[in-house]
Amino acid sequence: MNQRNGFDCPGCAWPEEPGGRKIAEFCENGAKAVAEEATKRVVTPEFFARHSIADLEARPEYWLSQQGRLTHPMVLRPGDDHYRPISWAAAYQLIADELRALDDPNQAVFYTSGRTSNEAAFLYQLMARSFGTNNLPDCSNMCHESSGAALSETIGIGKGSVSVADVVNADLIVIAGQNPAPTIRACCRCWRRPRATAPASSRSTRCPKRA
């Protein structure tokens, strides 16, 4: 997180803006994400004994994230209203039983994190391939699959065609099906800036209009 020229926030996918960087480039969501990962608070099995699923569903997201990190593997059995602790051996056995119950290894999908170390990712993909499948999408598949499919259909490529400078200089920004204010708050400050603040050296190739 700590970079030579300041703090590079891992809280969201908002790109680094061109031009001068600042010491603390993060929003409240980024700060919360880092704090939740670094917290020393723990959630023990006693916590789940006190709180049912219905109780947890009624709690605000902020309260849930403030409780801490899990200390034990937990399982929710069919018909139960509480998570119950299980041993690591039992957790691995449960996963193995579910995998063995599949008719075809390609029915399984092995998701991983974009921030997983190379060593952990290598072992994970080795397990998946040993099981008999190469279905190994990363977290971007869950986050961006819908936008990638829509962009491929409309402009022919599954990636964005604009830069941060384009957003600052835009005459009109249309957002559909998304509320970036609570999820990617860093982008909101671009909308508040006058267009004259966009770096003059920033240039991007605009996508040609389709007939």
Terminal alpha carbon distance of the chain: 45
Report the phi/psi class of residue 156: left, alpha or beta, with left for phi > 0 and alpha for psi in -120 to 50: left
Instruction: State both tokens at 189.
Output: 């400050």
| Nearest Cα to Cα of residue 181 among 28, 31, 3, 16 | 28
**Helices marked H in the chain — which ranges?**
28-38, 45-50, 53-58, 61-65, 88-100, 118-131, 139-155, 164-169, 180-183, 188-192
Contact 137, 116 (CB under 8 A): no
Compute CA 134 distance to the chain's CA centroid, rounded to the nearest angstrom.
22
- What number is the average pLDDT over the span 47-65? 95
Q: Give the pLDDT score at 130.
A: 96
Task: List pLDDT tens digits, range 181-207.
Answer: 766 666 776 666 545 444 443 444 343
Task: List pLDDT tens digits, range 109-137.
Answer: 998 877 778 899 899 999 999 999 999 88
Sorted by where each begins, the domain ranges of the chain are 2-103, 104-155, 156-196
Contact 136, 125 (CB under 8 A): yes
Instruction: State both tokens at 137.
Output: 């999408």
pLDDT, mean over the chain: 80
The Cα diameter of the chain in Å comes to 62
| Nearest Cα to Cα of residue 136 among 116, 159, 156 | 116
Quickly state the pLDDT bin for 13 (edges 50, 70, 90). low
DSSP secondary structure code for residue 16 in this structure: P
182 vs 41, residue with greater confidence = 41
- What number is the average pLDDT over the span 32-60? 92
